[in-house]
Amino acid sequence: MTTDTTHSGRTHTRRSILQSAVAGAMLLGISRFTLASAADRKFKITLSPGMLGIRANLHECLELASKFGFEGIEPIISDLAKLTPDELAQTQADLKARNLVLGCTMPAMPFSGPEGSYRSFVKKLPETAAVLQKAGGTRIGTWLLPSDEKLTYLENFHRHTARIKEVAKILDDHGIRFGLEYLGPRTMRARAKFPFVHCMKEMRELLAETGATNVGIVLDSWHWFNAQDTTNDIRALKNEDIIYIHLNDAPAGVPLDQQVDNHRCLPATTGVIDIAGFLDALLAIGYDGPAAAEPFDDELKKMPREEACQRGIDAIHRALDKA
């Protein structure tokens, strides 16, 4: 812990100084979040429209992010691919002028699919990676299914190791980091005969086996909660071990073994998930990548997208205020 000494000789910790500043700011109507985030937080609050249940193209996303105080946007590859060189340059200039960065995109990838569909995907991947690289994007992720009907854990482990290694190499050739998300709920593992990777420890074992240096975890607070991972598990990571963060809460009154993937809440809404501990751990390891809300909230889908954006950013602010 570092200390600062005032001219009167009194010594204060960094925390006490921050607390004093917060107290003064509250009197002036300035939120604690603003000060705390400026002092401690390196990661960027990112707008991913689909995860808030809204429809917005790349430039609409840019406008919404700027209006509601987000710090980054999802690099929507289908939109980026359509831009002319001049349009791309203008988009990059707009991002810079609004102090926004490109975060992470999360397309589905057929890691559990048959060889034919996987090969078709790999054939097109260099083109996708080139689009993202040209735009200045550096992160892409996907999720892994936590069970399989035919392959045992070991068989599935070997198949995923080979496929992740191959995809990671293509992405690394374009300067892109690759994130994999584990899915934690027991209700998802029960969909097929053989369980597969569904917690942080197993995901770390899988990624280590690939030997790829540009791979990491997409860490979702809801899956972290369902996998019964801990804050110590996060604190054991390094910043570079994480590619993307998803923030959310779980519905109250639902037993752990009955939690369902598409029934979630905005972060810091129900208090079921220890979002303060989750964020404290990320702050402690200096995570500096994108973070976005992913609530799967049907009510948000019914709202005007401006209201959904406001609720999303407010929820993240509340969550950070607890950290």
Per-residue model confidence (pLDDT) at position 177:
98
Per-residue model confidence (pLDDT) at position 32:
43
Nearest to 261 by CA among 183, 198, 192: 183
Percent of all residues in the chain with a pLDDT value above 90, rounded to a whole number: 87
Q: What distance in Å separates the CA atoms of residue 5 and residue 176, rounded to the nearest whole number?
A: 44
**Please, are residues 194 and 152 in contact by the beta-carbon 8 Å criterion?**
yes
Q: What distance in Å separates the CA atoms of residue 202 and residue 216, rounded to the nearest whole number?
A: 13
Domain with CATH 3.20.20.150 in the chain: 41-322
Residue 217 DSSP class: E
Residue 117 three-state SS: helix
pLDDT in tens, 129-187: 999 999 999 999 999 999 999 999 999 999 999 999 999 999 999 999 999 999 999 99
Give the residues across from 179 on adjacent strands: 141, 216
- Specify the fold of 41-322: TIM Barrel (3.20.20)
Mean pLDDT of each 10-residue bin along the chain, 323 residues long? 34 40 39 49 97 96 98 98 98 98 97 97 98 98 98 98 98 98 97 97 98 98 98 98 98 96 96 98 97 94 96 97 92
Q: What distance in Å separates the CA atoms of residue 91 and residue 134, rounded to the nearest whole number?
A: 12
Per-residue model confidence (pLDDT) at position 39:
58
